[in-house]
Structure 1
Amino acid sequence: MRPSFCLFFLLFSTAIFAQKEREKYPEIMNQDWPNLQKYQEANAAISEPPVAVFMGNSITEGWVNMHPQFFSENKYVGRGISGQTTPQMLIRFQQDVIDLQPEVVVILAGTNDIAGNTGYSSEKMITDNIRSMVVLAQANDIKVVLSSILPVYDYRWRPGLEPVAKIKSINSWLKDYASENGLVYLDYFSKMKDDRDGLPIEYSEDGVHPTSAGYDVMQPMAQKAIQEALENQ
């Protein structure tokens, strides 16, 4: 069999397979799973590198929506997407962090993985994705602030998971990893937890997402962590 015919056959077979997969899983094959389109226009409109990019989920997105001046006045940029898990953030890390050339990235991730938003995630799966984001940042001379996962006693959309132990274990890993690699660890958990290791009502109405008062607690902590990263990394 001639090489040219083999190549044609391989390409033809691949095309047929792709078409069958598209017909079998139309929603999956056609969707923008990491939501790369969400910030494309906003990214293109940035004229100078920000001091810090906040990479995260709905907690970060809600922060920007609720306290926009905190970001604009400090030359911070929020790149949170509601519901996202660490593999989705990792895919868009190039576009939504590296390409913006910030001095610092503040990573707040993991709670939706624990909730199972994109399927089961082991602790190692979560920490591997976070580690990969750190490696990408450091390879591009971006300083890193690793945020703890916020306290959660129960996820209303996935009740009964009992996430406290997993959150505390991942936070312990984040703290150790930050210490071992010269990163800044931002410990929201210890500052905001109640006696059940969840978020108290004054900081969250649903036990997961901060209220304005919750963000008031987080803001000076984030500023201090960013300044520490700028000075010490």
Structure 2
Amino acid sequence: MSALEIVLVSLLGALIIFVAIYLFVVHTNAINRLEIFEEVNKNAKPGKIVFLGDSLTDFFPIQDFFPGVKIYNRGIAGDTTKDILKRIDNVVALQPRKLFLQIGTNDLAKASSPRKIINNVKKIVSTFKKEVLNIEIICLSLYPVSHTKKFLSPLIVGLRTNKKIQKTNELLVELCAAEGLKYLDFYTLLKDKKGRLDRHYTVEGLHISGKGYAVIAKALQSHL
């Protein structure tokens, strides 16, 4: 085996280990978050605001940006639309007056089509409309991504492309119009001149930096 082959095999092995550890951490975090939610729900007051989604919600320090407003963050890193449907009863139990929903980027990472994503979002919306009286549902667009970080971006961004994200957002706009929901466009707010997630707003091309969340929080303020 040549030196180059040894290096390539070593890199492949390291990548496999990295992916395995990442999946383990995501799975463990999801279980832990669900257990926390179950405990918090025991003393939670109905009629509050809930943010529901994946890591983009999970990592958003919403309550810190809005200390005067009671907000329940129900984001779990790694979640897809299917995962939300599986745990939706836990969120319905909060009986929120307002729900901010953003989900779908991890579906794209798993090669799901924009149409399938929106079909599942419709199921999520229908469940809340049925189970929570007079709820206001606000759908957040998916954020753009960027592949500018040469090493991290391919690993983290994966199969997500801005073309698929834009298509998903277009279908989400149609769904919101049909269901009478408010749609907030953060894709346009966070993109750079080339249509990518602005480097000032991201950690590695997918997740949002502190500066990015500050921009998002400012745009959300009038909708709380």
TM class by shorter chain equals: 0.7 to 0.9
- Cα-to-partner distance string for 1:95-132 (whole Å, 9 max, x where unaligned): 1x21001101111111111111xxx3122221111111
Out of 145, 151, 168, the residue aligned to residue 144 of structure 2 is 151
Q: Verify: 1:113 aligned to 2:86, yes or no.
A: no
Q: Does 1:212 align with 2:210?
A: yes
- 1:104 partnered with 2:98: yes
Q: Number of residue pairs matched?
A: 189
TM-score by length of 1: 0.74
When residues 79 and 159 of structure 1 are mapped into structure 2, their CA distance, relative to the original with a 3 A threshold, is closer
Post-superposition offset of 1:196: 3.0
| CA distance in 2: counterparts of 1:98 and 1:51, whole angstroms | 12
Quote the sequence identity (%).
31
Q: Give the 5 Å matches for 1:154-165.
A: 154=147, 155-157=153-155, 161=159, 163-165=161-163
1:163-178 residue pairs with structure 2 within 5 A?
Answer: 163-178=161-176
DSSP 3-state at the match of 2:202: coil
The secondary structure found in structure 1 opposite 2:59 is helix
Amino acid at match of 2:126: V
Which structure 1 residue ranges, 5 or more long, are not aligned? Answer: 1-30, 227-233
Give the drift of 1:34.
Answer: 6.8
Unaligned runs of 5+ in 2: 1-26, 148-152
CA distance 1:160–1:84, shift in 2 (3 Å): closer
Q: What SS does the corresponding residue of 1:191 show, helix, strand or coil?
A: helix
Normalised to the residue count of structure 2, the TM-score between the two structures is: 0.76
Task: Please tell me whether Structure 1 or Structure 2 has the larger radius of gyration of its CA atoms.
Answer: 1
1:54 has 2:51 as partner:
yes
> Is the contact between residue 50 and residue 76 of structure 1 (CA under 8 Å) also seen in structure 2?
no
Alignment partner of 1:83 is 2:84? no
Amino acid corresponding to residue 192 of structure 2 in structure 1: D
Counterparts in 2 of 1:89 and 1:33: CA distance versus 1, 3 Å: farther
Would you say the 8 A contact 1:55–1:80 is kept in 2?
yes
Corresponding residue SS for 1:73: coil
Q: Are the counterparts in 2 of residues 54 and 78 from structure 1 also a CA contact under 8 Å?
A: yes
Q: Decide which moves more: 213-222 or 130-139.
A: 213-222
